[in-house]
Chains A and B, each alone.
Chain A
């Protein structure tokens, strides 16, 4: 069952264009959203969160269009990026205390559990956290309100290999609990580790949207790794 659907989403900037982006996310699957820097991953993700004004197209969650059901939809989804620091000088405890009032389904016990699992200290401030810990903090907030869909913009960028591996293990655990995950990345080894499906975007256009095994079969050549396929596709696209 599809929990997220994008249909013909278009957004034109002076020097870049998102062209008829369409894809869907299956419940309980991890989808890797891959493309080089500037390919349109973040723009697509922002359109999925109503952070940018799309020129046309629809974004639906749980069968509901995002526009007109923003409040209900956002109660059921979570977002994270490792590159942005929210309220760097406030403690996590203060941020959590304020944030929880916005969610009808906030689970205090789950919050405490994830704080412990991710080794987060309520007295610490975001400015004192590494990028990996910031991602975990965002995940903790999303999971404490029972987010069914997690949209993660390059959550593993800037992380050391060990932290990346640890985070990908968390994604796999969440998937087992039925959480749907879309994470953008340009690190192909992330996809090899945990992605069920792959969406490949190039120059604002979706070039592939299939399971990882189909991607390897349909786009790969004899003996190629995912990274080699991705690099070849990029090189071919430039010609």
Chain B
């Protein structure tokens, strides 16, 4: 593990960032808007930014023998690590629901999103929105946490849209059950992963540019 990530994990991170990964388990609840689990994972990450601000972490990091942009890199490494951990929890639950629990009646009578690869793709999209709206918004000042409010609005718009999408005529397949429409489902997961990678990369570049120009 590199020194930057180690610093993020041991000095900057809030314990809630780790604890809130458990919210990925919400994906097991029948009739629950399971995409909210992704939001809770990012809520845990947000707490680390609060902790970092209170402990003068950004200034301490900028004084270390690293380039200024590496301060941003450390924050992104940590966010990606937590997001992927949350994703793995939700992916494991999804696989269980698609296989072992496939015949459970409670999951069949569901007006909301099913746990399927499209759900996992949308989890990654929500994470990508967090990285774009909140993290790069934070690095406009390196102290102002208000971009989180914008993130809440954008994330919930995405969550509501994804949870309700299958009610639109012709889009029923996005809410496929078990291994139905698996080719389409896997395609949607890959598309979600591509959106996540693109949003995260662009957000990282933008955050580096912003952080280089601000005064600490």
Contacts and interface: CB of A to CB of B under 8 A. Distances in A.
Dominant secondary structure at the B interface: helix
B65 interface: yes
Interface in A85-137: 85-90, 94-95, 97-99, 101-103
A50 to B, nearest CB: 7
A111 to B, nearest CB: 16
B6 interface: yes
Contacts of B99: none
B216 A98 contact: no
B64 A52 contact: no
A70 B65 CA distance: 7
A71 interface: yes
B60 A87 contact: yes
B215 A51 contact: yes
Contact of B11 (A53, A71, A87): A87
Nearest to A75: B65
B56 A74 contact: no
Contact of A70 (B7, B67, B214): B67
B55 A51 contact: no
Contacts of B64: 74, 99, 102
A84 B56 contact: yes
Contacts of B11: 87, 90, 94-95, 98
Given A94-B10, A94-B11, A98-B11, A71 B216 contact: no
Contacts of B6: 98, 101
In this complex, the interface size class of chain B, counting residues with CB under 8 Å from chain A, is: 20 to 34
The interface centre, meaning the residue of B6, B66, B214, B215 with most chain A CB atoms within 10 A of its CB, is: B215
A53 B65 contact: no
Interface string B33-61: 00000000000000000000011110110
Contacts of A71: 65-67
Given A74-B65, A86-B56, A102 B3 contact: yes
Given A51-B59, A94-B10, A103 B215 contact: no
A98 B10 contact: yes
A174 to B, nearest CB: 19
Interface in A49-85: 49-53, 70-75, 79, 84-85
A49 B56 contact: no
B7 A98 contact: yes
A53 B3 contact: no
Nearest to A145: B65
B215 A52 contact: yes
A85 B56 contact: yes
B62 interface: yes
A156 to B, nearest CB: 20
A90 B215 CA distance: 26
A52 B214 CA distance: 7
B138 to A, nearest CB: 18
Nearest to A78: B63
Contacts of A99: 7, 64
Nearest to B55: A87
30 contacts: A49-B63, A50-B62, A51-B59, A51-B62, A51-B216, A53-B213, A53-B214, A53-B215, A70-B65, A70-B66, A70-B68, A71-B67, A74-B64, A79-B63, A84-B59, A86-B55, A87-B55, A88-B54, A88-B55, A89-B55, A94-B11, A98-B3, A98-B10, A98-B11, A99-B7, A99-B64, A101-B6, A101-B7, A102-B65, A103-B65
Interface of A: 46, 49-53, 70-75, 79, 84-90, 94-95, 97-99, 101-103
Given A53-B214, A99-B7, 8 more contacts: A53-B215, A85-B56, A86-B56, A88-B54, A90-B55, A98-B3, A102-B3, A102-B7
